[in-house]
Structure 1
Amino acid sequence: MIDRRALMRSGGIAAAAFGLSAAVPAAHAADAGPGAAHGHGCPGGHGQDRPPGGPIDPCDLTSGVTRVELQRNPSPAKGWLTVQTLVEIPRHKESGRHSHPGVEVGYIVRGDVLMVFDDGPAQRLRTGDPFFIPSGAIHNARNVGTVTTMMLSTYVIDETKPLVTTY
């Protein structure tokens, strides 16, 4: 049974509204501390130990980002899974550089994102825009809008690998 009240207190408001599993922190760079990497003058690693749903740390660029897994099912192709998530990125925050072991097909439910790729041009995405990310592409979703961005993403991934690899 899902405790919707506890979920809402922990920052999983969208998940609670849909009766879904608890929100978990999304992928983020962990080694040097994101604030230090972006010249924000914050000590390296600050905010790394913040519990899910805790206060948003202005020095941690990924603080407050959540990824709620909506469903996970076998894919028609043997050895693959289909996973769907709802990702929320607060204003002025980002997902952190990461990749997936399969394709990502997504839709911007709300907000404005600059999707930055290591090996390709950035894409500006707005409410209502679909997007596609190839398998293994290292990318970072930056909220460049005025509201918390909400993205619905569906992945077809190798079942032997984790959904997200951070860099």
Structure 2
Amino acid sequence: MKLTHTIAATFLIAGSAFAFMALAQEKSALTRTDLVQNEISAPGLEVVQARVDFAPGAVSIKHSHPGEEVAYVLKGSIEYQLEGKPPVTLKTGESLFIPAGAAHVAKNVGDGEASELATYVVKTDLPLVVMEK
């Protein structure tokens, strides 16, 4: 009985370590660097600008924002899938408007790294990213 518990505990620890490493790799596959965050002249709104870097094959979670987003591809090829619309692939120098509340996913579909400059006009004091199901 003791041997069974020891084996089970070993598998549980190994499985937890594997899951943690996979999560750590997933988190490092996509990084966001906030550049600007400031209130604007329209009451209750702010502008946020961020650089988002995608490792090869990186995919964002399905998410939305409490305001509009303009995504400008700085490097590589990124596919955007907005809920209810066909996917669109943008290359370096191209941009896309994403309406407020539109659930979407972004994926690096190029051979190397990809980056976007994301500019948001969002409601103040709300989380910038809302995870969707």
Same fold by TM-score greater than 0.5? yes
Residue ranges of structure 2 left out of the alignment (5+ in a row): 1-17
Secondary structure of 1:47 counterpart: helix
Q: Answer yes or no: is 1:153 the counterpart of 2:118.
A: yes
Percentage of pairs with the same residue: 36
Q: If the length of structure 1 is used for normalisation, what is the TM-score?
A: 0.64
**Take 2:28 and 2:42, find their aligned partners in 1: how far apart are those partners?**
36
Q: Counterpart in 2 of 1:115?
A: 80
Partner of 1:24: none
Q: Normalised by the size of structure 2, how large is the TM-score?
A: 0.80
| Whole-angstrom CA distance in 2 between matches of 1:117 and 1:104 | 12
| In 2, Cα distance between equivalents of 1:126 and 1:74 | 30
**Higher-helix-fraction structure:** 2
Structure 1 contact 63–93 (Cα < 8 Å) conserved: no
Runs of 4+ more than 4 Å apart = 43-46
CA distance in 1, matches of 2:46, 2:76: 28
Q: How many residues align?
A: 115
Q: CA deviation at 1:160?
A: 2.6
Report if the CA contact (8 A) 1:97-1:139 is conserved: yes
Q: Which has the higher strand share?
A: 2
Larger RCO (CA under 8 A, 6+ residues apart): 2
In the other structure, the counterpart of 1:143 is 108
- CA RMSD in angstroms comes to 1.7
Distance in 2 between residues matched to 1:63 and 1:117, nearest whole Å:
23
CA contact (8 A) 1:119 1:138 kept: no
Q: For residues 129 and 121 of structure 1, what CA distance do their matches in structure 2 show?
A: 17
Q: Does 1:65 align with 2:30?
A: yes
Structure number with larger C-alpha Rg: 2
Counterpart of 2:75 in structure 1: which amino acid? R
